[in-house]
Structure formats: C-alpha cells, structure tokens
A = this chain, B = another copy of it.
Amino acid sequence: MFEAAELGHKVSKEEYAQEEPKLREALLKAQYALLAAPKFPVIVIIGGVDGAGKGETVNLLNEWMDPRHIITCAFGDPSDEEAERPHMWRFWRALPPKGRIGILFGSWYTAPIVDRVLKRSGPSEFLRDIDDVKHFERMLVAEGAMILKFWFHLSKSAQKQRLDALEKDPRTRWRVTALDRERFKIYDRFRNISETALRETSTGEAPWIIVEGVDARYRSLLVGRTLLEGLQHRLAGTKPPLPAPAPLEPRIDKRNVLNSLDYTQKLTDKEYRAQLEKYQGRLALHSRKPKFRKRSLILVFEGQDAAGKGSTIRRITGALDARYYGITPVAAPTEEERAQPYLWRFWRHLPRLGRVTIFDRSWYGRVLVERVEKFAHEADWMRAYHEINQFEEEMVEHGAIVLKFWMAITKEEQLKRFRLREKTSFKAFKITEEDWRNRKKWDDYERAVCDMVERTSTEAAPWNLIPANDKLFARIQVLRTICEALDKNL
C-alpha cells in the first residue's frame, strides 16, 4: 500500500507558489458553502508516522480555512472524565456537527494499532478492534458524514535520514529522543500492522489517502486538494443514505509507480539463456518438493497489451509438470458467470493443494478494464478493492503462495510492438482494433493501475511491477521472483 508514497514525490517552490493561493481560496469557498447549508459533517482523520508532517498539516488547514468553523481535536492519554466511560465516548464528544469540519489528530485508530504493535493485544483482538472501527465509520457514513483519512508515511530510509539529520545538527539534536530511536527499531512491525489496519478500513465511503511526508509542499497540496475535491464532490452530489464514493486522491506531481520503474534494464541473449536454465531448474525442483504438497501456487498476470504476458507464462510452465498446473485465461464472463457474484468465476478455478494455477488476466479486470470502460458502476469497482484483498487473504491463509505480476511497458514500446505484430503474418492475429482502442485510453489505464497497486499491494500478496521493455529481462525477473518466494515459503 505504501509503494506510491515512497517515490520521492516533490513539488517545486514555483509551482507551490502558484497553486497555494488558488487552493486556499477554493477551500475557503467550499467551507462557507458547507456552513451555509449544513447538510453533513466533515471528519478529517490525521494519522501516520512521526516526523511526516502531521502537526504541520493540521496547522496549515487551520490557516488556510476559517479556523472558527474547524473543530480540531488532538487525542493524548484519556482524561479521568474519559477513562470512566466506554472508550469511544471521547470520540463521540469530538464529532463535528453538520456544516462543520472536524480534524481529528490521532483517532480511533491509535489505540488498536499501538496496542498491537506493543503486543498488548493479540492478532484476533486486533482484527476485532479494527472491525469495530469499520462499523463505527459505516454508521457515521450512514448518518451522512463525509470522512477523509490521511496517513502520513515515511519510508524506512527517509525516517532514518530525518533522524540522522536532526541529530547531526546541534540546534535540533534535542528533538530526537530515545523514544524516537526506540520507535524506529520497530518500524517494520509498525508498518505491517498499520498496513493491515489501513487496508481493512479503506472503503469507498471512508478512504485512506497515503501521503508521502518528505516534501512539505507536496504533502500540503495533496491533502488540500483531496479535501477540496471531496468537499466539492459532496456539496454538488447525491444526498444520504447513499453517498457517492469519495473521489480518488488527485495526482500532485507526475511521478507514479509505473513511470518510476527503470525500463532500461536489459539482458544479453547469453545472460538470458544461462539464467533461464538456472531458474527453470530451481522452479522445477521446488514444485516437486514434498512440502509443496501442502501448499499451492497462484500466479496472477496483468499488464498492458503486448507486454509479454503469454511468452513469460510459457517460460514458467516449461519448468512444470503438466499434471500439476493449469492456466486460466480470463476474458469476458460467460452467461453462467454473469449470473453469479463477480468473484465466483475465479473461486471456481482455485487450485487444490500441491497445484499451480496461472491466471492470464484475473479478478483485477474489475478495477482495470471494467472501471476504465465503465462496465461496472463506480460503487461496485470501489468495493472490489476490499473484496479482492479479502479473497487473496483467504487463499494465503489456506496455504497458497500468491504472486501478482504487472508486466509494464512504456507507451513507445507498445507502439513498436503493435506495428511489428501487424507486419508479421503469424503474429497479426494478436493485434486487433480493440488493442488500438485500449491504447487511446493509456492514461486512464495508467491511473487505474496506480490505484490498484496502492490499494491491493498487501503484505500477504504484494504486486511485483516488472519493467518489460526488454522481454528477456522481464521473463527472468518473473522467474526469479517466483523462485525466491518458493525459497522463502518451502
């Protein structure tokens, strides 16, 4: 989930100077429109790691808008008044009424996450706490609230750099406490637990927006514009009890998980042949291990048209025993499949233990082609992110190893391949009018892929983004990823 917030997003001084006044004015205008016709409350939750700009952002929002109509609450240890009542009492107290914006600095997420990080709660209790949060927010949404949740993130190295920099400067050294260093030690644990909490509670109506906290200008614009778009969307939009999903967060700079890949990586023919032999051998061995009889392997392939999914899959199956694998190509659903919930057609193909299933395209069609082509309603593909995460979690819990590959090529490379296909008689069948049509929607698909990675790349089933401009490099990369996952799991 945090991939997109570790890319080094940045906004220049000039751009910020140009954007900020417009944003402030629009925010103020939206705030007054909300106040003039108080139809719903706005709840803004600020969470995340230390040093990522949470406090600064809270201050900024109060500066940008009219602070008299913002209710800002920071939650530390409960007061005695609060401790003597059920733990949600303090949050009920802090809810903004209709027409107001409430900023909750710290929230009902703090205790469940911290309790789990410090092992005061077990894994089931933690998930139970998170479910309570989910029900609470669902109630708020049903009562009409607009909820936006911002998670301020720093990568491990960015966090380390920050602490080191503070410590080096004698004027700021005092700001790094023993507690900071203590917390840094459990960075990974905190990250994993937060990820679960965020993933479980990022719904269409109350989404999490992950904010990369390094660059102050970037994070300020991201939070400001998301809030603005949310407000405008809701002020213009349908009324409860069925609020439209919140809009997805705006893109602030051009950087994303796809265009940050290094597409220049290459292998020579000779390197390729050597490595192919090596990894295919390892894969063959792994799949024949007795331990594999208690597991299964599920491989998901997605990617732009002509990115080389098919040829990569063939390099995998080349190493496997045909009795133990199956390839499930996914196209438009059949009539029988359309009469069932959309995940049904994938459930039916899940492998038994000891088997491998390769999905050539997959359940992600819901949030890719069905979203872009508007085959699915917004509410339906928005809820799909969560349902998909749940689905994959069930596989993993039952012993499956789930690996997801996005085969990524650049727009130029795709054009080259399309042209080549048209020219090569035995490849011409692989290029259709539809491919050209899809290509025209390149940007929409790119956006959909970035959202998909942000919302469905989980600890249990992460996305592997494979730069595939060089086919040889891509194939080896995929094979290596599979082998390493098997090394780890078997």
The chain A residues found within 8 Å of chain B, CB to CB, are 38, 41, 81, 84-89, 92-93, 95, 97-99, 122, 124-125, 127-128, 131-132, 135, 139-140, 142-143, 145, 241-242, 336, 339-344, 347-348, 350-354, 377, 379-380, 383, 387, 390, 394-395, 397-398, 400
Asked whether A88 lies within 8 Å of B394 as measured between CB atoms, the reply is: yes
Asked whether A341 lies within 8 Å of B398 as measured between CB atoms, the reply is: no
Nearest 10 Cβ contacts at the A-B interface? A97-B339, A124-B124, A143-B341, A86-B398, A92-B347, A84-B352, A86-B394, A98-B339, A84-B353, A124-B125
Residues of the B chain whose Cβ atoms lie less than 8 Å from the Cβ of A395: 86
Selected from B85, B348, B387, B398, the residue in CB contact (under 8 A) with A92 is: B348
A84 to chain B, nearest CB (A): 4
* Chain B minimum-CB-distance residue to A353: B84
Residues of the B chain whose Cβ atoms lie less than 8 Å from the Cβ of A131: 127-128, 131
* Chain B minimum-CB-distance residue to A81: B352
Residues of the B chain whose Cβ atoms lie less than 8 Å from the Cβ of A340: 41, 95, 97-98
* Chain B minimum-CB-distance residue to A294: B84
Selected from B41, B350, B377, the residue in CB contact (under 8 A) with A89 is: B350
A294 to chain B, nearest CB (A): 10
Residues of the B chain whose Cβ atoms lie less than 8 Å from the Cβ of A88: 347, 394
A130 to chain B, nearest CB (A): 9
Residues of the B chain whose Cβ atoms lie less than 8 Å from the Cβ of A124: 122, 124-125, 127-128
Query: How many identical chains are in the complex?
Result: 2
Asked whether A89 lies within 8 Å of B347 as measured between CB atoms, the reply is: yes
- Known interface pairs A97-B340, A131-B128, A339-B98. Does A241 touch B145 (Cβ–Cβ under 8 Å)? no
* Chain B minimum-CB-distance residue to A88: B394
A226 to chain B, nearest CB (A): 24
Asked whether B350 lies within 8 Å of A139 as measured between CB atoms, the reply is: no
Bound-complex Cα distance A400 to B93 (A): 19
Bound-complex Cα distance A97 to B337 (A): 8
* Chain B minimum-CB-distance residue to A352: B84
Bound-complex Cα distance A400 to B87 (A): 12
Instruction: Indicate the member of A41, A97, A350 with the most B CB atoms within 10 Å.
Output: A97
A208 to chain B, nearest CB (A): 18
- Known interface pairs A92-B344, A139-B341, A241-B379. Does A86 touch B125 (Cβ–Cβ under 8 Å)? no
Selected from B132, B380, B390, the residue in CB contact (under 8 A) with A241 is: B380
A292 to chain B, nearest CB (A): 13
Bound-complex Cα distance A340 to B127 (A): 28
A109 to chain B, nearest CB (A): 17
Selected from B81, B99, B145, B390, the residue in CB contact (under 8 A) with A341 is: B145
Bound-complex Cα distance A81 to B127 (A): 29
A138 to chain B, nearest CB (A): 9
